[in-house]
Amino acid sequence: MDRGFMEHYFEIAYNDVAGEIAGDDERYAELQKAADEAICSLTRIVGESNAALCKQCEHAINSLYAVQLHLVKLAYLCGAEDREKMLR
């Protein structure tokens, strides 16, 4: 498998990774709603008392989303490798 090509393809083909992969999956929607509510609640609590802490929380949340996106990309590449192995 040409890993570089597949990484590039993933990056250009999946602009909205969550939307394109999860689609209308109800469980994903429930989990995302719960996560959004937790983030909003945390932002309200922390933001009221400490703006610097609020920014740090935002940075932590964005970092977790970056990790999640990278994991999805790695899973995609694993699937591409598995497909290639099965076709041999």
User: Tens digits of per-residue pLDDT, 16-51?
Assistant: 888 888 889 999 999 999 999 998 898 888 876 778
Q: Residue 46: CB partners within 8 Å, gap ≥ 6?
A: 53, 54, 57
pLDDT band at 60 (very low <50, low <70, confident <90, very high): very high
pLDDT at 18: 83
Chain mean pLDDT for the chain: 89
Buried b (16+ CB within 10 A) or exposed e, 11-40: eeebeebeeeeeeeeeeeeeeeeeeeeeee
Q: Is there a contact between 57 and 43 (Cβ–Cβ < 8 Å)?
A: yes
User: What range defines the domain where residue 19 resides?
Assistant: 3-87
Q: 0.75 cut: is pTM over it? A: no
Q: Is there a contact between 48 and 55 (Cβ–Cβ < 8 Å)?
A: no
* The two structure tokens encoding residue 77: 């590449």
pLDDT at 78: 92
Please give the tally of structural domains in the chain. Answer: 1
